[in-house]
Amino acid sequence: MAEWVVTLVTAGIVTLAIVLHYEIIAGLNRWVHKSGSFASLGRPRRRTLLVVMFALLAAHVTEIWLFALGYFILDRAGDHGRIIGYDSFTFLDFVYFSAATYTTVGWGELAAVGPMRFLAGTEALTGFMLITWSASFTYLIMARTWGVDDEESL
């Protein structure tokens, strides 16, 4: 039973994270196109790129907190596995574990055991995918905003 609960929680969080990320990228893309943020239209490049970067950072932080909430709920709700490495955990410890897992850094002092490992493994894959999606989007915006041969923008 615990495996099914963890699987459903994981599916819900992954769905929320991907939809959130899509909506933020789609909104940024609309904003860039609608407001004429490209270099040829005279909008300051710095503002365009800073808005994109901070919005994407906020998206990733929110996604990390979503996964942390999943760890917290599963930890408190029963025998769904746990995170080991500390004697006791605060919510921010779950955020820390989530950030290390999402970014695939995996510091090593904390580890998921039991069914909760499925959430951790899936978070690492999801985080990797969303980070690379952000990097690809940022590259496209930078290429369009700065232009390929625009040395002045560097």
Q: What is the pLDDT of residues 136-153, one digit of tens each?
A: 999 999 888 876 555 554
pLDDT at residue number 132? 98
Domains, the chain, ranges and CATH?
Answer: 2-19+47-148 (1.10.287.70)
Distance, C-alpha 9 to centroid of its chain: 17
What the block records as the tokens of 73 is 């709920």
96: alpha, beta or left? (left if phi > 0; alpha if psi -120 to 50): alpha
For residue 67, the SS3 value is helix
Handedness of CA 59, 60, 61, 67 (dihedral sign): positive
Assess contact for 22 and 131: CB atoms under 8 A.
Answer: no
pLDDT at residue number 33? 84
Q: What is the pLDDT of residues 44-101, one digit of tens each?
A: 678 889 999 999 999 999 999 999 999 999 999 989 999 999 999 999 999 999 999 9
pLDDT band at 43 (very low <50, low <70, confident <90, very high): low
pLDDT at residue number 154? 46
pLDDT at residue number 37? 53
Question: Which residues have CB under 8 Å from 148's CB, separation 6+?
Answer: none
> Phi, psi at residue 37, to the nearest 5°?
-80, 0
Question: Which residues have CB under 8 Å from 49's CB, separation 6+?
Answer: 141, 142, 145
For residue 83, the SS3 value is strand
Q: What is the pLDDT of residues 102-122, one digit of tens each?
A: 999 987 899 999 999 999 999
d(CA 2, CA 129): 27
